[in-house]
Structure 1
Amino acid sequence: MAGCEKADPQGGADGPFLATNMGYIRAPEILKVTIGGNGVVKISGVARPDGRVRLTSRQGQAFGVTANARGEFVADLPNDSNGNLYDVSMEESGRLMKAEGRLFVPTGQPERAVFMRSGSPSLPLSPHAPLLAVVDYDRLGGVAVAGRAKAGAVVALGVNGADVARVKADEAGLYSAILPLRQSLVGQAVMLTAQSEGAVDARTVELLAEPGEMDSIQPAEAAWKVHWLLPGGGSQTTMVY
């Protein structure tokens, strides 16, 4: 995330999966996570119409579903006792097109599920996510945040009591930002705040330089901590509140 520009939060096209004149097709997107009957986790999203979507856990279990004629799909996943990470992909002409990130579903808390993106803020999938829902950081000192506010509202972001950025929530209330920091805060306990229309959400986050050899999930009372390896090398840590 250090040195990266703010990424487009899985949007920008006129609709899901519009092919360009070069034949490029966007990868599948996860839109919502809920709990169904018998504790099954239901993953809703969009893909290419009639496309075959695959979700693969970090243990190698694969779950497949076919999108309907409008590109909508719903996949059922087990409610893993430790939470789980999933790679999301779509079969296209005999090859897999991977989504640019990974899905994290906390155990028994689908309302806190996030789509984690490499070098960018993770996206909280619930419309009821808190104002400061996710904090991402990497070993180079990049820090990103995301959450939910009122549609179109301005969100003021602060670090240790100082305002550092202002962003505008989209029509669904989702905002995200990579914080413009002058120096690395790795190794420090940092107070991050988000303020919008009288509401304030604050988190104290200890930005530890995690080892990058493997994925790990650590549940806690206040937050889930997910340390995950990036497809292009390196690692990222995601705090889910």
Structure 2
Amino acid sequence: MISAKRHIAALAAAMLGVLALAACSAKPPSAAADGAEAAAQDYLSPPKVDTVRAGEGGVTLAGTAPVGGKVRLATPTGQAMFSTVDAQGRWAIALPPAAEPRIFGVSASAGGRQTQAEGYLLVTPAGQAALLRAGASAMRLDPVARPGLRSVDFDRGGGVEVAAQVSPGATVILHLDGRQADERRADANGRYEVSLGSPTPIRPGPHQIEVRGDGFADQVSVKVAPAQPLAQGPLRSQLTPAGPRVDWMTPGGGVQSTLLIH
């Protein structure tokens, strides 16, 4: 798929560079240690969303961020909501009800510095939420009702990204249109994700995706239809039998489609 893992990898590389220079420096050990400590202090961890609660009054988001900082949720049009991070490193923002899915950029500031969360945050009126990542599968943030499929992403290149949530370390067997396409274990958090469409791109049209494993089975029919250009903003949404679909503009200017499975 299009672009891939950006900010965190670049930041990690920069940190490794700082430590390597400190190790090779002619400064005495105490000076090198002071430099490493200063570099660590300069690092500001990005904010994270780990809790999504839907209610009659809207959707409440909560997560972690640097203690004493301020978290900002901003729409593409510049509207913003803020929350101060408490002494436990927690924050929460209540979103007002909305008729359509919304997309946000999430950032945090503390001590005169600012850091941006990876990807974009998508929130639907029903309380489904996901971290949208260019070139990768969406990371669902709302509670898991049962083990199974969680999201399907695709773009014009014929790549398809599938994500599921199962038991930690469980073996997942994926079938695409009746044929086995992948078999691997979920990670320690129970997340399974796989990239399909390489070297042979997935053709446009209807497809059947099925995941099976010990104690679970789930399947969904999806229509892989590349999005039309976004002429009225960076986000377009529609309801499908499998769940809400959003077409969104990636940082590189492409369009990726994300399907949140019911």
Change in Cα spacing, 1:63 to 1:4, as seen in structure 2 (3 Å) is closer
The equivalent residue for 1:231 is: 251
RMSD of aligned Cα (Å): 2.6
Q: Compute the displacement of 1:128 (Å).
A: 1.5
How many Å separate the matches in 1 of 2:43 and 2:135? 22
The equivalent residue for 1:147 is: 164
The answer to whether residue 206 in structure 2 is matched with residue 168 in structure 1 is no
Q: Compute the displacement of 1:226 (Å).
A: 0.4
> In terms of mean alpha carbon deviation, does 180-189 or 157-166 score higher?
180-189
Change in Cα spacing, 1:208 to 1:57, as seen in structure 2 (3 Å) is same
Q: Compute the displacement of 1:3 (Å).
A: 8.6
The answer to whether residue 67 in structure 2 is matched with residue 77 in structure 1 is no
Residue 41 of structure 1 contacts residue 76 of structure 1 at CA under 8 Å; is this kept in 2?
A: yes
The answer to whether residue 190 in structure 2 is matched with residue 190 in structure 1 is no
**CA displacement, residues 108-130 of structure 1 (integer Å, 9 cap, x when unaligned):** x21x3211111111111134245
Change in Cα spacing, 1:157 to 1:179, as seen in structure 2 (3 Å) is same
Partner secondary structure for residue 68 of structure 1: coil
Letter in 1 for 2:116: K
Residue 170 of structure 2 contacts residue 190 of structure 2 at CA under 8 Å; is this kept in 1?
A: yes
Partner secondary structure for residue 117 of structure 2: strand
Identity across the alignment (%)? 31
Task: Give the alignment of 1:1-241 within 5 angstroms.
Answer: 1=1, 21=40, 23-36=42-55, 38-92=56-110, 94=112, 96-107=114-125, 109-110=126-127, 112-130=128-146, 131-179=148-196, 181-213=198-230, 214-241=234-261
Query: Of the two, which has the highest radius of gyration?
Result: 2
Q: Compute the displacement of 1:210 (Å).
A: 0.9
How many Å separate the matches in 1 of 2:166 and 2:188? 10
Residue 158 of structure 1 contacts residue 192 of structure 1 at CA under 8 Å; is this kept in 2?
A: yes
Residue 65 of structure 2 contacts residue 90 of structure 2 at CA under 8 Å; is this kept in 1?
A: yes
> In terms of mean alpha carbon deviation, does 86-95 or 43-52 score higher?
86-95
Name stretches of at least 5 consecutive residues in structure 2 with no aligned partner. Answer: 9-37
Partner secondary structure for residue 158 of structure 2: coil
Letter in 2 for 1:128: V
Letter in 2 for 1:121: S
Change in Cα spacing, 1:50 to 1:202, as seen in structure 2 (3 Å) is same
How many Å separate the matches in 1 of 2:246 and 2:188? 28
How many Å separate the matches in 2 of 1:228 and 1:205? 18
Q: Compute the displacement of 1:24 (Å).
A: 3.5
Change in Cα spacing, 1:94 to 1:134, as seen in structure 2 (3 Å) is same
Partner secondary structure for residue 132 of structure 1: strand
Name stretches of at least 5 consecutive residues in structure 1 with no aligned partner. Answer: 9-18
Q: Compute the displacement of 1:224 (Å).
A: 0.3
How many Å separate the matches in 1 of 2:258 and 2:4? 17
Residue 169 of structure 2 contacts residue 187 of structure 2 at CA under 8 Å; is this kept in 1?
A: yes
How many Å separate the matches in 1 of 2:114 and 2:251? 14
Q: Compute the displacement of 1:95 (Å).
A: 5.8
Q: Compute the displacement of 1:62 (Å).
A: 0.8
How many Å separate the matches in 2 of 1:3 and 1:82? 27
How many Å separate the matches in 1 of 2:203 and 2:67? 43
Question: How many pairs were matched up?
Answer: 227
